[in-house]
Amino acid sequence: MKLFEYLKDNAKQYPYKVAAICKNDKITYSQLFERASAKSVDYAPRQIVVFRASQTIDFLVNYFAIHIADAVAVPLENDAPDSRFDEISQTLNQAVVPDDVADILFTTGTTGKSKGVMISHRAIVATAKNLIEGQEFSSDLCFIISGPLNHIGSLSKVFPTIIQGGSLYILPGLKGFDAFFKALEHPCEKMATFMVPSGLRMMIRFGAKQLEKFVDKIEFIETGAAPMAQADMVDLCKLLPKTRLYNTYASTETGVVSTYDYSSNECIAGCLGKPLSNSQIIITEEGNVACSGSTLMSGYVGDEELTKSVMTDGVIYTADKGYLDQNGMLRLQGRDGDVINVGGYKVSPVEIENIVLSLNEIDDCICIPSQHPVLGTIVKLVYVLAKDATITHAEIAKYIATKVERYKVPQAYEQALSIKRTYNGKLNRKAYL
């Protein structure tokens, strides 16, 4: 079955159940399917439809209408400049895509040129079923979406919610927490959400008291897209002792591959759990993570050579470094190119960042290579102080030295007002090069 066919079935079985809420607007399953079916006549089979991914019910109507018409959905960020919208539209104008492709999602492009990732109907459902298996999506769950719906992190949560007959609560973003806490007041028994680690860290720091009010209502919180500090895991477990808390391994190219419940197990930075039923994980001789299974992309649109550079015989080879532990769980150790070579020694920036973020005085940080006129390449720490906090460079260095070997301790420090991140919460390391 395709995703819209699950919507059709739910429209018959639960016609009056709320499928989605946005501000003061609601739509039932029957209304969503009827509106999407009516709009589907606007599209031709295999037409590539480029549109802006607004955080609205209209987005869902349009998205499902495109699928019902057997066209291809290409959602772009809602505030994409006209020049980018026109460029992608023109690029895809003559593109030929496989018959089973449902979506083309464009990556953020922080590691190079933005790429159009083709995702099949089969991969969408496989990702949905991985999430249902790993995180127990259910029909009585209301899932809060605050991230952009053109990105796999948030769009992938539409899939299991619709398949299971749950409800979506769509927020326009997460610039402040007031709207999020208002969403949690929605009259239902179980609520869940996805939030990037930097968002969760801010929530722990500035919204702890409000969050505690919903300790019996938040069924689970998933994070992904970037590493989460162990200290933040521990704090969130204490704050929400009844909530399942997940770290997930996923990407636009691989779909959702694995997830780890650190609230029920040990809080381990970089642990992303065992591969789920529709996925397999391989570790290459070079220590890179490779994935196979039915959640994988169909390829990069219009670029067979680029596809072949990362995908061979149904296996995607990622730039992520990691290993499978004795329990078969994936442990990430950073990405190719992130490791800093200091006098022949290898330093993982993620390891240092995780240590620094355990300091109460530090709100955010990034570890980067820097050039010294005498020593050559050294490790530099750029950090943001917590409100009203004070700490010296020497104190930070002394703390790090209690946790790691001496050669890993940064030799340069810089205080900043903020750390550069991509719109989906990842550290923008490229911006510091």
pTM attached to this predicted model: 0.86
Query: Based on the number of CB atoms within 10 Å of its own CB, is 257 exposed (0-12), middle (13-18) or buried (19 or more)?
Result: buried
CATH 3.30.300.30 residue ranges in the chain?
A: 337-432
Of 112 and 103, more confident? 103
- What pLDDT sits at residue 108? 63
- What pLDDT sits at residue 110? 44
- Helices then strands, each counted (H, E), the chain: 13, 23
Tens-digit pLDDT profile for residues 14-23: 999 999 999 8
Tokens of 354: 């995780």
112 has pLDDT over 70: no
In whole angstroms, what is the distance from residue 312 CA to residue 316 CA?
A: 7
CATH 3.40.50.12780 residue ranges in the chain?
A: 3-333
Mean pLDDT of 156-183: 92
Tens-digit pLDDT profile for residues 45-72: 999 999 999 999 999 999 999 999 999 9
- Nearest-Å Rg of the Cα atoms of the chain is 22
Q: Give 154-213 as a DSSP string.
A: HHHHHHHHHHHT-EEEE-S--SSSHHHHHHHTSS-SEEEEE--HHHHHHHHHHSHHHHHT
- What pLDDT sits at residue 111? 45
The residues, ordered by sequence, that sit 6+ positions from 359 with a Cβ below 8 Å of its Cβ are 391, 396, 399
Mean pLDDT of all residues belonging to the chain: 93
- What pLDDT sits at residue 343? 78
Tens-digit pLDDT profile for residues 381-410: 999 999 999 999 999 999 999 988 888 999
- What pLDDT sits at residue 128? 98
- What pLDDT sits at residue 30? 98
The tokens 């992190």 sit on which residue? 153
In whole angstroms, what is the distance from residue 62 CA to residue 69 CA?
A: 11
For domain 3-333, the CATH superfamily is: ANL, N-terminal domain (3.40.50.12780)
- What pLDDT sits at residue 424? 67
Domain 337-432 has CATH 3.40.630.10: no
Tokens of 8: 């059709």
Tens-digit pLDDT profile for residues 181-218: 999 999 999 999 999 887 898 899 889 999 999 999 99
The tokens 């490779």 sit on which residue? 290
